[in-house]
Structure 1
Amino acid sequence: MRETRLADALSERYLAYAMSTIMSRSLPDVRDGLKPVHRRLLYAMRQLKLNPEHGFKKCARVVGDVIGKYHPHGDQSVYDALVRLAQDFAVRYPLVDGQGNFGNIDGDNAAAMRYTEARMTAVAAALMDGLDEDSVDFRPTYDGEDHEPIVMPAAFPNLLANGASGIAVGMATNIPPHNADELCAGLIKLIDNPDTSIADLVRCVPGPDFPTGGVLVEPSENILEAYATGRGSFRLRAKWEVEKLSHGLFQIVVTEVPYQVQKAKLVERIADLMVLKKLPLLADVRDESTDLIRLVFEPRTRAVEPEHLMEMLFKNTELEIRFGLNMNVLDGDNTPRVMNLREVLRAFLAHRQDVLIRRSNHRLAKINHRLEVLDGYLVAYLNLDEIIRIIRFEDEPKVCLMKTFGLSEVQADAILNMRLRSLRKLEEMEIKNEHSKLTEEKEGLEALLASESMRWTKIRDEVVEMREKFGAKTVLGKRRTVIGDTPEEIEVPLEALIEREPIMVICSKMGWIRALKGHTADIGDLKFKDGDESRFALKAFTTDKILIMSTEGRCYTMPCDKLPGGRGHGEPIRLTIDLPQEHDIVAMVVHKPGRNLLVASSAGRGFQVAEADVIAQTKNGKQILNLGKDEEARIFLPVDMDHVAVLGDNRKLLIYPIAEVPEMTRGRGVILQKYRQGGMADLILFNLEEGLSWTMGGSEGRTRTVTDLSEWLGKRAGAGRQPPTGFPRSNKFE
């Protein structure tokens, strides 16, 4: 029993656990791209002779062998690993050929292991090609009763082709799948020129190739940086198209979803967003998938732009994802580190070099042994009678044969173990022909082992052969993920995001604002707080914006879709905009893009301003009209007429074309009318041909119009003349 501090004991045990997680569970080996559980699964299937050309066996049998002989963990976790290797939507090049229900892209689980069957695929067979030829090292299994390979010979670049993901202690890995044809092209380029730059390799391997397809829209410079550092991310979008319908209608069909996105959960997420009214351009979503994916999106109206609808879906759903790249792997020395693309490909080629040398040495040893036996057979053929006599009459025939004919122990054993019926085969020509062929093969192997360039040529031929077997000319090898252009940022208009509905905006004198549905609301029946009454009533739509001018010359913007509903008295407008208590609202107008506004102060100064320049992005508003001491903003009118009629406190009227008022973005403005004392009383815009109208006094609300206005026409900044007879004593046009 050893006493130790608790902290030291915990540290020692946690470090052992962390190393076990890193080395034996989470990180793949750069040489074969496999984690221990996958390697043991494939080895167990090989031992069960579940080759591609043979029949299937129950998955329960495979899992039982794995957990009983090689991998002492839970059967469900091992079966889950086997299932994933068989899913063509999860693995780019499946290693397991499954028969039965192995799950689907909707996220449904596979059937129990007692119902499903499996065997290896050609890719899995390629990973273990040469395993019986001393190509890799073996180690004892956990119970010491058997042996298992430390790494597979890997005649297939599995790490990059199928990718890997895992979370260890303090580190993680995430490698996307790639196209084997492109990887082979990169390997060939690297063999031909070991100093090939990463930029040249990226021309061969332009990006990941996901089993579910999609469109890769990551900028090329970002892809290059990710492969150069071993860390980065890739932007992946669903593949979609527009289907035209009758009467000018259309629908959008998604045929490929991003990698590792469960289709059923994606549809559920979109439906939830529709309920929350966060996808206003979308009317309906349907899943019409069979073996092929087909998600149908119906726009709310035919006026919706397909690009706007998809941009909204990309931003709010998993129709667009970012797949991270973190090439953290175990290198040839079992050391975890992050590698770039060139280092990963070089590690694979270095492993293939080691495998080739070991297989060649193994074959050479077999040939040498066989040649030794053939030499012994040749001696036996030439001295058959004497050899038979020695075997029949000598007490120690083996020693006697070795001494009499100068044979080695191997040769003597071979002669003694020969069956009598084999004697007829001891024909000199056959022995010499086999001897000649093996000698020629031996010379070739010795030359191969002595020449590095010959070995690289051999490896290059193997890569070319692998490319023909799994490359782009095969159904499995065709690229699925499209390398698309980097999408431009699409600004979806506010009108496109909000359902367009007519409303009546009501604001009272005390500043309570609300929005009534429809344009035909009877305003006369509206109720207000005690002492309050209606002041502004504007017809608008939910997609509009309301522009508000305050007496301090500041303009505020309120989106109509954010206005409180028509029930009750509404809400104080000061809750939405930061309008100081000492200031009041001058005017409210519905924003129309491209239009100008006329702003003027009580001092009779003003200017035209484009509506785009008065829109405020914050609740603090935007200062438009600068004011002097004791001045306040008084006019805020849309410029939709051709003349200005301005009236002073001195009861002088001046009329001139609106064109004489200059356009500015901000300032005090120009003089609209000159005064000796006082300031401006009122101002309106009107069309000269239609004449100037004003409201008469009395309860009938009659108006009077004067068409002959030559007496009051003048230049801007003039003094003006007394208004026509009958003009209201209130000195207001309305």
Structure 2
Amino acid sequence: MENNASLRTKDIHIENELKDSYLQYAMSVIVGRALPEVRDGLKPVHRRIIYAMFREGLLPNKKYSKCAGVVGEVLKKYHPHGDSSVYDAMVRLAQEWNMRYTIVDGQGNFGSMEGDGAAAYRYTEAKMTKFTEKFLNDIDKETVKMVPNFDEQTVEPTVLPTKIPTLLVNGSSGIAVGMATNIPPHNLGEVVDAALDLIENPQQSVEELVRKGFVKGPDFPTGATMLQGPGLQDIYINGEGAVTMKAVCSIEEFKKNREAIIIEQVPYQTNITTLINQIVDLVKNGKIKDISDIRNETNKNGIRIVIEVKKDADPNIVLNQLYQYSTLKSNFNARLLAIVAGVPTILNLKSYLHNFIDFRVEVVVKRTEFDKKKSLERLHILEGLTIALDNIDDIIALIKASKTGADAKEELISRYKLSEIQAQGILDMKLQKLTGLETDKIRDEFEAIVKVIEGLNFIIDNVSEQMSIVKAEMIEVREKFNDPRRTIIVADEGNIAIEDLIKDEDFAVMVTQNDYIKKVPIEEYRSQKRGGKGVSANFKDEDVIKKLFVTNSRDSVLIFTSDGNINWMKAYEIPTMKATMKGRPIVNYIDLRGKKITNIVNVSDLTSGYLIFLTKKGIIKKTEMKNFAKPRNGGIKAINLDEGDTVLSVIYTHGDSDIVCESNVGMSIRFKQTDLSILGRTARGVKAMNLRAGEEVVGIELAQPGKTLLTVTKKGFGKRTLLSQYTTIKRAGRGVLDIKTGPRNGKVVTMNAVNEEDDLFIITKKKVVRTPVSDFRIISRNTMGVKVVNLDEDDEILSVEVISAEHEE
């Protein structure tokens, strides 16, 4: 037993066995399953499905047949793998959203773009499409190599003699071992036009062929748009490249003052259900805020996904966000990898078309040789019949004298130097062939076949004639199956920033005591004379405006909370409303983590300059703006505060102007900005001015040339004074008296640096008054001031904001 066992075993190194076995497996997957053949553009499973349907007679003009029968036939004769792999491949060949030109004509439920699967193969039926017929023309004329199937009971083709450049027209994708292919579909007419040009100009370079623009780019069955970019040329010149696809969307009005985004075409291989779920997640996660509803109205007539946009939201901004965050805009990474002469090869446009044209020439030559062979065989028989007709009486006598057919056959061969085939043809000839008319037909057929053979020889011997035939057949295919391009190629304008979609305009932004926010077109506030009554600003729940400022729609808004944190918003994100409306809770847009807003700063550039912080207790800090240039959800720490202190004001500066601070008792201090060191983002700061018990700072401004200082008290009095009257002293001093406070004036609530051309927003508990700065004459420091606005007995001034003259231009 041991000796027998030793004869059946062999010692080998396991690493060598693993290497050899894995290599065999890898090549089997690469060549036998995952990658398409360059000539017919098909993987083995697709080729076997088509061939099985052809042999089953499932032609376009025949009845449909159960898919179960087709799958069974493929498994039984050609494809020794699982039934699901065959049926899945067959289903895909019938799906119009996957195949640019369908290969299987399916009847029944073959799935949908929503991701619904096909019905089981016992329910569905199929046959070939007219397009598929062109794959099989001349297959029975020895045009392609036939090999034994897996059990050697029948044969199958190694390639189909297709007249269609399928590899590019329908594309292909597959993951092999250590390599993958991903070929996008193309327009048949464009590919054929490029092939015809290559036939006429075979020496041209691939760059020249691409530059001519016959093949404009992939043409996806789902349409959509594609961005023109360098990746497009890379595909056709280098065989690898990426293109960007964008959904086709429109904006419709569906209710009064309400708009919706309509998605009409989606990028190739997009699952509609997955897309909708993705958009829902973006809304839930707060990535996109202005979508109120989404519904799928897709039907047999086409895709229609309706995305309702919130009232007052800009649908163009929402659409841009959808392109940015969802698969409405996606890349197709192309790799033109196929099997060429048994070897995986990266192809460019010219090399693919060259391979296809050579294959078509080979098919034409083999078909011609087959036709010649059959013609010669018929001519051979006709030669024998002609000899028989010339000696008909002797041959009849010979046959009658012979005892058996075999004897007659041998005698014919011997006497008239005939072949067995000719002798058998004479014996098989019917007596009616002896009539004069039939005799003439035989002679005429003989002469006709001689001419046919001459024509066939001309084709075989003449390359230019072969090319002419290939061209004619390509043109026939183009005329029969070409259709308009579905994917429109547009210029790539790069990633469109949302700001580019925003109209450049100015707004007045209001924030209430309860942290409601809105923006109002600045035109709604007409300038009034000093002492005017203003525009109503009554809010529910006794809420009042605590901050008002002017912003440009493209600016950034920095929001500071009571705990010293900073959050970000874009001005265009703030809801636009009428002046009398309350606004929306700001927590709908940013996470304040339960804290109150203390200050808001409007900036147009987050990368330069400085922010100066001032707290109510007189602590000041200067920090570089770039420390706050990267917004984060939930905000970041901007300043460390002492217990009980809050941020009063934050101003933006370039770092050179003097600083002026004002206390609620009318004291003012001016000092050089250079007295402030630049501190880190989370630092505490230093003392700005010396305050006594019960005093607070109410304002900070930059002492810029040409400006005056406007101080306003709680009871509606104020004054405007030249900045030159405020002497520059050291930081942290007590300062000088700016305006007298007392029972008539009340305490100081605000101080602003203003130009003569500016307007003011004077905000009270009940209203907002807009009035020009020029209505207030310049008076001395240390005075009582004059009335700036008429107040009701129960009203008082909360703040004053400046509308810069530049916003009015």
| TM-score normalised by L of structure 2 | 0.70
1:403 to 409, 414, 424: 414
> More displaced, 289-298 or 550-559?
550-559
Q: Does 1:604 align with 2:614?
A: no
2:87 to 75, 79, 89: 79
Residue of structure 2 in register with 1:198 after alignment: 206
Structure 1 residues 301 and 214: alpha-carbon distance in aligned structure 2, compared to 1, 3 A threshold: same
> More displaced, 418-427 or 23-32?
418-427
Deviation at 1:539, TM superposition (A): 7.6
Structure 1: which 5+ residue stretches go unaligned?
Answer: 472-476, 522-533, 565-572, 608-615, 628-632, 647-653, 661-670, 685-691, 713-722, 727-733
Residue of structure 1 in register with 2:769 after alignment: none
Q: What's the secondary structure of 2:498's corresponding residue?
A: coil
Structure 1 residues 194 and 425: alpha-carbon distance in aligned structure 2, compared to 1, 3 A threshold: farther
Distance 2:240 2:161 in 1: 27
Q: Does 1:643 align with 2:708?
A: yes
Distance 1:318 1:488 in 2: 17
Distance 1:238 1:294 in 2: 12
Residue of structure 2 in register with 1:577 after alignment: 638
Q: Does 1:253 align with 2:259?
A: no
Distance 1:131 1:41 in 2: 15
Give the partner amino acid of 1:502.
Answer: Y
Q: What's the secondary structure of 1:159's corresponding residue?
A: helix
Provide, for residues 163-201 of structure 1, a one-character-per-residue CA deviation record: whole Å limited to 9, x for no partner.
000001100100010000101110111011012343443
Residue of structure 1 in register with 2:649 after alignment: 588
2:218 to 189, 208, 214: 208
Residue of structure 2 in register with 1:611 after alignment: none
Q: What's the secondary structure of 2:496's corresponding residue?
A: coil
Q: What's the secondary structure of 1:344's corresponding residue?
A: helix
Deviation at 1:644, TM superposition (A): 3.1
Residue of structure 1 in register with 2:450 after alignment: 439
Deviation at 1:217, TM superposition (A): 1.3
2:727 to 646, 669, 673: 673
Deviation at 1:389, TM superposition (A): 2.1
1:228 to 237, 260, 275: 237
Structure 1 residues 704 and 148: alpha-carbon distance in aligned structure 2, compared to 1, 3 A threshold: closer
Structure 1 residues 135 and 576: alpha-carbon distance in aligned structure 2, compared to 1, 3 A threshold: same
Deviation at 1:59, TM superposition (A): 0.8
Provide, for residues 22-45 of structure 1, a one-character-per-residue CA deviation record: whole Å limited to 9, x for no partner.
010000000000011111111111
Residue of structure 2 in register with 1:297 after alignment: 307
Q: 1:78-227, aligned counterparts within 5 Å? A: 78-202=86-210, 203-219=213-229, 221-227=230-236
Distance 1:296 1:519 in 2: 27
Deviation at 1:82, TM superposition (A): 0.7
Distance 1:365 1:460 in 2: 24
Distance 2:391 2:597 in 1: 126
Residue of structure 1 in register with 2:441 after alignment: 430
Give the partner amino acid of 1:484.
Answer: V
Q: 1:540-555, aligned counterparts within 5 Å? A: 549=613, 551-554=620-623
Deviation at 1:301, TM superposition (A): 2.5
Residue of structure 1 in register with 2:275 after alignment: 266
1:314 to 296, 320, 323: 323
> More displaced, 12-21 or 275-284?
275-284
Structure 1 residues 52 and 293: alpha-carbon distance in aligned structure 2, compared to 1, 3 A threshold: same
1:60 to 52, 65, 68: 68
Residue of structure 2 in register with 1:527 after alignment: none
Deviation at 1:695, TM superposition (A): 3.1
Q: 1:705-724, aligned counterparts within 5 Å? A: 723-724=782-783
Provide, for residues 288-339 of structure 1, a one-character-per-residue CA deviation record: whole Å limited to 9, x for no partner.
11111101111113440x33221100111111111110111101x1110111
Q: What's the secondary structure of 2:267's corresponding residue?
A: coil
Structure 1 residues 216 and 598: alpha-carbon distance in aligned structure 2, compared to 1, 3 A threshold: farther
Deviation at 1:381, TM superposition (A): 2.2
Q: Does 1:696 align with 2:742?
A: yes
Deviation at 1:380, TM superposition (A): 2.0
Give the partner amino acid of 1:9.
Answer: E
Q: Does 1:502 align with 2:516?
A: yes
Q: Is the 8 A contact 1:274 1:280 kept in 2?
A: yes
Provide, for residues 251-310 of structure 1, a one-character-per-residue CA deviation record: whole Å limited to 9, x for no partner.
221111111111112112212222222211222111111111101111113440x33221
| TM-score normalised by L of structure 1 | 0.77
User: Percentage identity across aligned positions?
Assistant: 33
Distance 2:34 2:50 in 1: 17
Q: What's the secondary structure of 1:279's corresponding residue?
A: coil
Residue of structure 2 in register with 1:485 after alignment: 491
Deviation at 1:248, TM superposition (A): 3.9
Residue of structure 2 in register with 1:286 after alignment: 295
Q: 1:367-378, aligned counterparts within 5 Å? A: 367-378=375-386
Q: What's the secondary structure of 2:262's corresponding residue?
A: strand
Structure 1 residues 694 and 446: alpha-carbon distance in aligned structure 2, compared to 1, 3 A threshold: farther
Distance 2:633 2:28 in 1: 60
Structure 2: which 5+ residue stretches go unaligned?
Answer: 1-8, 503-510, 518-545, 547-558, 569-573, 575-581, 586-594, 615-619, 662-668, 689-696, 712-718, 752-775, 786-799, 801-809
Give the partner amino acid of 1:81.
Answer: A
Residue of structure 2 in register with 1:449 after alignment: 460
Deviation at 1:149, TM superposition (A): 0.4
Structure 1 residues 680 and 85: alpha-carbon distance in aligned structure 2, compared to 1, 3 A threshold: same
Give the partner amino acid of 2:637.
Answer: T
Q: What's the secondary structure of 2:320's corresponding residue?
A: helix
Q: Is the 8 A contact 1:45 1:119 kept in 2?
A: yes
Give the partner amino acid of 2:672.
Answer: R
Deviation at 1:243, TM superposition (A): 1.9
Deviation at 1:409, TM superposition (A): 2.5
Distance 1:267 1:704 in 2: 51
Q: What's the secondary structure of 2:330's corresponding residue?
A: strand
Give the partner amino acid of 2:111.
Answer: G
